[in-house]
Amino acid sequence: MDDPSTQTTKILTHLSKTLSLSPPQSTHPPATLTGLPTSHTGTAYLFLSVSAHHPRLQIHSYPAIHWARAYISNIPTPSAPISLPSSTQETARDTPVLGLLSDALAGSAIRACVTKDLLHVRKFLAILSPVLEYIVSSNANANSSSASAQTTNSSTVMDLDAPEPTTTTTPPLPSCLLHGLAGTLYLLRLIRHWVPSSAPLVCGAIVHVSEYLLGPHPWTCPSRLPPSSQPPHSSPPPPPEDTYGTTHGDLGIITQLVLTSPPLAASPSLTSRLAALLDLQSPNGDWPGPSSTSPSQPPRSDAQQSSDAPPTPAQREPSETAAAAASQPRSRGFASGPQGLVLSLLSLRPFFPSLHDRIDAAVDKAREFLWARAVDPEGPTEEMNLFYGSLSTALTFPKGPKRTHLLTQQPPSPNQPLSPPTYTNTTSTSQNPSTPSPSSSSTPTTPPTAGSVTTAPHPGSAYLHAVAARDTPRMIFYNDI
């Protein structure tokens, strides 16, 4: 591992470049409010996280927590709760964003974490309240239907006056990390961690969301819908392996469930699901394999043990997978590759003792695959970012020569600007021109995504070096808390 002073220098370099390329703003157009992964909401959390790992670190003569406050201070607070379309009107395009991409939820959560103010915790829960009300009702209906089915099956006399069972056409709430309830769980856990006094306030929401995910509702992600059904402004459909991965798939949902409520690991359905995901690893260590075949035994929901249980890799549509695979190249990185598998398994291992041997073998094979690709001079060229590129690879290795080697092989991405942006009509609140400050009417010549923690090189590299000295570093926005 590099000398601590060298690591500190690298952290400072990348944080300073982040401030130069994407400084705090006094106004935020709606198009820039894209949630934790790619907006200033996430940049605020990056600086908050760095302040915890390196409390004495100063960037431009200010501690990291100062910049966390600067980034979050002018993120607008939603004036109304999340709206859920009625069952008679809802379409795929109306699917609410409930995960990390929801700036309404993420902004309120990060503001609560930075300020430690229970007022902002209550604001977060108020924004989420229609979703929680829907979930409570849905969970009650599911339990009622289960009890009714058991009563009907055990009855010897048919009640001719009994009402017909009702059905609903309301699509299930999205489940994945970026769009769905797995991301909601992460935000609730985030608040519970940074604002310990909030635990009594958020524990009920955690229970309800977890119960919904473990119920009979299928696990879904809007990004896996056909292109014509996707919500406006959505990203292109992910490759088929994202059905299983951390950001859009089952692995991310399992990880958020267990890290938020560890006793849930005792659920047979989660154990079966995780085992099914391990089956998708290729002999060479890649995950999921280029031509993954379905495991033979589909896991079932604890609540229903029925055909309505959330789909597993065994239950995916082969035609859907094949079509997606033919239309676009395979994505790599933490979001859908072996990096995500390793980082998830390292967190999940303590809670699944029956899978220890399989998890250890999967981690070893994935590391061998990642190392071989990292040192291959003719290997694929990847973007320098945390979620979709090569930066996460270093986090998958234990302390030692391999991690050190990977940390030293992280040059700036060639397609990202390296000089500070030029602003026009800038109204600065700082008298020090070398210190970035909020701008009220600025027009940056560099894209706002330069501050994206998950897709830009400098914020991602700053986080990478901030946690590089830890025995088992974790991924921000996923399992860092």
pLDDT in tens, 119-145: 999 999 999 999 999 999 988 887 666
What residues form DSSP beta bridges with 73? none
Contacts of 81 (CB under 8 A, 6+ apart): 126, 127, 128, 129, 130
The CB density around residue 57, as the number of other CB atoms within 10 Å, is 16
Q: Please give the Cα distance from 456 to 297 (Å, whole number).
A: 40
Is a pLDDT exceeding 70 seen at residue 474?
yes
- Classify residue 66 by burial, with Cβ atoms within 10 Å: 0-12, 13-18, 19+: middle
Q: Any idea how long the chain is?
A: 481
Count CA atoms closer than 13 A to 417's CA, side-chain side: 17
The fraction of the chain above a pLDDT of 70, given in percent, is: 70
Residue range 444-465: average pLDDT? 82
Q: Please give the Cα distance from 104 to 255 (Å, whole number).
A: 23
Under the banding of pLDDT at 50, 70 and 90, the label for residue 408 is confident
pLDDT tens digits along 357-388: 999 999 999 999 999 999 988 777 788 999 99
Is a pLDDT exceeding 90 seen at residue 322?
no
The pTM of the full predicted model, rounded to 2 decimals, is: 0.82
Which of 189-198, 403-412, 448-457, 459-468 shows the lowest per-residue confidence on average (mean pLDDT)? 403-412
Residue range 59-64: average pLDDT? 98
Q: Which residue has the higher pLDDT, 314 or 356?
A: 356
DSSP 8-state class, residue 62: E
Q: Please give the Cα distance from 123 to 92 (Å, whole number).
A: 27
What residues form DSSP beta bridges with 37? none
Q: What is the Cα 90 distance to its own chain's centre? A: 25
Reduce the DSSP state of residue 116 to 3 states and report it. Answer: coil
Under the banding of pLDDT at 50, 70 and 90, the label for residue 34 is very high
Which of 71-85, 197-211, 312-326 shows the lowest per-residue confidence on average (mean pLDDT)? 312-326
CA dihedral sign, ordered 301, 305, 306, 307: positive
Q: Please give the Cα distance from 138 to 51 (Å, whole number).
A: 40
pLDDT tens digits along 264-311: 999 999 999 999 999 999 999 999 976 554 433 333 444 443 333 444
Under the banding of pLDDT at 50, 70 and 90, the label for residue 242 is confident
- pLDDT computed for residue 326 by the predictor: 39
Please name which of 247, 258, 282, 211 lies closest in space to residue 353, comparing C-alpha atoms: 258
Q: Please give the Cα distance from 404 to 163 (Å, whole number).
A: 67
The torsion angle over the Cα atoms of residues 183, 187, 189 and 190, rounded to 10 degrees, is 130
- pLDDT computed for residue 149 by the predictor: 52
Is a pLDDT exceeding 60 seen at residue 28?
yes
CB 180 within 8 A of CB 99: yes
Contacts of 439 (CB under 8 A, 6+ apart): 23, 25, 26, 423, 426, 427, 428
DSSP 8-state class, residue 445: S
Under the banding of pLDDT at 50, 70 and 90, the label for residue 410 is low
Q: Which residue has the higher pLDDT, 369 or 411?
A: 369
What residues form DSSP beta bridges with 439? 25
Contacts of 221 (CB under 8 A, 6+ apart): 174, 175, 176, 178, 179, 180, 242, 248, 249
The single-letter code of the amino acid at 481 is: I
What residues form DSSP beta bridges with 25? 439
Q: What is the Cα 316 distance to its own chain's centre? A: 22
Q: Please give the Cα distance from 7 to 384 (Å, whole number).
A: 18
DSSP 8-state class, residue 410: -
Is a pLDDT exceeding 90 seen at residue 401?
yes
The torsion angle over the Cα atoms of residues 476, 477, 479 and 481, rounded to 10 degrees, is 80
Is a pLDDT exceeding 70 seen at residue 98?
yes
Structure tokens at 336: 């859908």
CB 265 within 8 A of CB 345: no
Q: Please give the Cα distance from 434 to 75 (Å, whole number).
A: 24
CA dihedral sign, ordered 105, 108, 114, 118: negative
Question: Mean pLDDT score of the chain, rounded to an integer?
Answer: 81
Determine if the peptide bond prior to 288 is cis (ω within 30°).
yes
